[in-house]
Structure 1
Amino acid sequence: MPRYLDRDRLALLAAVVAPLAVAGVLVPFRTHFANANVALVMVVVVVAVAANGHRVAGALAALSATVWFDFFFTKPYEHFSITRSADIQMAVLLLLVGLSVSQIAARARRLQVIAITDAGYLAQIHDTAELARSSASPDRVVDRVKAQLTDLLGLRGCRFEFGSLLGHPPRLERDGTVSVGARSWDVDRRGLPTEEVEVRVYRGDHFYGRFMLDPTPGSMPSLQARLVAVTLADQVGSAFEQAER
């Protein structure tokens, strides 16, 4: 957990400091730069913070960029006041654009499809896919994937429910995120939920069942590990489909 806390603190620190630092670099040249160009540079800083942090850091960076744009680049300089309507519009646009792109950048970072390059992950996926194609019994694939998920996600246990959808437990989605009801659960900051988490098994539109994950308290599997987990669960759907032919 400290590793994630340190990263989040660094992102928040960068959100406050980075726009100020960039503004300080540009101040000596403010008479040679149009304020629109300065605002674009600030937006780039906001995107950089959001892409490497999270939504809160991105929003804070957008606010910080707007404040220092006002302080250093609108007249009267070095005052938190704006007298010209054009500068007011520019500051408001900077804030709105900064907030928007920070949300987009943070979401893109969260939902990006990570290339699975770890040799161990690739070997697990390959071996399970081969078993799904060759085995006459989907149960063998289910048992294999249960063991893999337990090890991969650091679980206390894992079971499989055939063709049932009882209750509304937290769910590991196909993009590696975890949802609790209608809300997104921040695994990177909070770890997996303490209650069982489902991973649904489909093949096309056909629902076969779900894995029920019993997380170890404090377990924080990476996004890459969660994507691998979903990929492994997909092989179970493939095994069921193969058995029906």
Structure 2
Amino acid sequence: MENYRTPVLTASVLAPPAVCALLIPFREHFDNANAALLLVVVIVGVAAFGIRLAGILAAISSAVWFDFFLTVPYDSFTINSSNDVEQAVLLLVIGVAVTQIAIWGRRQQAEASRRRGYLDGVITTSQAVATGASADDLIEQVRAELTAVLGIDGVKFIAGSNQTHAPRLNPDGSVTRGSQVLKVERDGLPTNAEIELTVQHAGETRGRFLLTAATRVARPDLEQRLVAVALADQVGAALSTQEPIHPHI
């Protein structure tokens, strides 16, 4: 977004007066409502980039220059017609509304893309298990997936059934430290200790992933945490038939 933020902000301010100026030769011959609709198209075009400030600036700029160039008295910020006042206000209101809708749409698209990425990761891991990939390769793949899904610094795997008193990512997606349930979305994952994600299959512990979030606050949501559990379960299924060559990865 940073690559095009400045050009979009510039266009949001300059495009409306440019459009209004182009309409000056025709302003005596068409209804201002048509000009307002054309400016709405400009606002929609700017808002489509999903930058709230740009959409709002385009709405304000459209309302101001619609008033200045296209309402009587011309070349003045005074409006004599109540209809023109309504149209200028509607331009502003519609512009802000369109911007909010565009931002919501982009967020929904990003969320869908993120979920698709999670699903792809789980499917790829399942395929690796099904095709008999080595335990070491599978663990390495899941380590990378866990780091990306949870937004953490790193992951290491330790084979065996021994467990520690470290904070734990549970099968239901909750994170606990002892008996205390941590509010991950609000406070983030613990940064002062590794978080244990148990690797199990058929009720038997096969190992654990130790998750590290030491240098940044990671706030994975419940869905992300459940994906992490699903990935660990895939490793558990693989370890039910083979042991890793390197038990500490």
Structure-1 residue corresponding to 2:160 = none
Task: In structure 1, list runs of 5 or more residues that go unmatched.
Answer: 171-179, 182-192, 199-210, 218-225
Structure-2 residue corresponding to 1:168 = 183
Cα distance in 1 for partners of 2:91, 2:101 equals 15
Cα distance in 1 for partners of 2:129, 2:87 equals 58
* Structure 2 counterpart SS, 1:52: coil
1:46 corresponds to which of 40, 43, 46: 43
Structure 2 counterpart of 1:127, which letter?
T
Aligned pairs for 1:203-242 (under 5 A) are 214=213, 234=227, 236-237=229-230, 240=233
Structure-2 residue corresponding to 1:94 = 91
Cα distance in 1 for partners of 2:85, 2:119 equals 53
* Structure 2 counterpart SS, 1:80: coil
Deviation string, structure 1 residues 24-64 (Cα, Å, up to 9, x no partner)? 22222112221111111111111111111411111111111
Is 1:22 paired with 2:19?
A: yes
Cα distance in 2 for partners of 1:132, 1:238 equals 11
Structure 2 counterpart of 1:64, which letter?
S
User: CA 1:63 to 1:141, structure 2 compared with 1: closer, same or farther past 3 Å?
Assistant: farther
2:81 corresponds to which of 64, 81, 84: 84
Cα distance in 2 for partners of 1:5, 1:194 equals 28
Q: Shift of residue 99 of structure 1?
A: 0.9
* Structure 1 counterpart SS, 2:154: strand
Structure 1 counterpart of 2:64, which letter?
V
Q: Shift of residue 122 of structure 1?
A: 10
Aligned pairs for 1:142-161 (under 5 A) are 144-150=141-147, 156-158=153-155, 161=168
Cα distance in 1 for partners of 2:33, 2:150 equals 47
Cα distance in 2 for partners of 1:73, 1:88 equals 12
Structure-2 residue corresponding to 1:66 = 63
Structure-1 residue corresponding to 2:162 = none
* Structure 2 counterpart SS, 1:27: helix
User: CA 1:24 to 1:114, structure 2 compared with 1: closer, same or farther past 3 Å?
Assistant: farther
Counting matched residue pairs gives: 192
Cα distance in 2 for partners of 1:81, 1:231 equals 55
| 8 A contact 1:11–1:53 mirrored in 2 | no
State the superposition RMSD in angstroms: 4.5
| 8 A contact 1:141–1:239 mirrored in 2 | no
| 8 A contact 2:68–2:76 mirrored in 1 | yes
Larger Rg: 2
Question: Matched residues, percent identical?
Answer: 40
* Structure 1 counterpart SS, 2:79: coil
The TM-score with structure 1 as length reference comes to 0.60
